[in-house]
Amino acid sequence: MDRLWAPWRMEFILNENAKSGEGDGSSGCVLCGLRQMDDGPGNLILCRGALTYIVMNKYPYSNGHLMVVPHRHVGDFEELTEEEGSELFRMSQRCITVLRENMKTHGFNLGYNLGKAAGAGIEPHLHLHIVPRWEGDHNFMPVLSDVRVIPEHLEATYEALRKSFVKFALESKA
């Protein structure tokens, strides 16, 4: 019998705070807590802007699943400022560019889950999901066994994408 290994999932399964979006208890919000940490594999932040940041989803739907998150703790979409909305849009474009070049993606799902009824896992701090897709990536695992196959370890994906985001930032400044 073949085995699927996803050791990073156990932390999520056992951590009720991660599921509720309450963070580690000290910051009150997992996304605000990440923002306060130094960038690296520990927080999975790939890039920071003036008003938003790009972070890898620690519990991805597919390899390279990213989120664009406002720095400001805001849960209601209508409360975003024009500047925050603009930067969210530009950062999502940057994500797509980097994922296309680095992971040779064929398509993307982009979306917000606003409110618990819509599936928001971290309801009090909105964030935009960018989920890379490839032709033929549909398989029976999610349907029959509620399992997603992620072919690369998070840290390896982080290192590859981080290099691309740094290069992208340098090219943008030139």
Catalytic residues: 127
Q: Classify strands 66-70 and 128-133 as parallel, antiparallel or unpaired.
A: antiparallel
Helices (H), 46-140: 82-103
Q: Classify strands 66-70 and 107-111 as parallel, antiparallel or unpaired.
A: unpaired
| 52 Cβ contact list (under 8 Å, min separation 6) | 68, 69, 70, 71, 84, 87, 88, 91
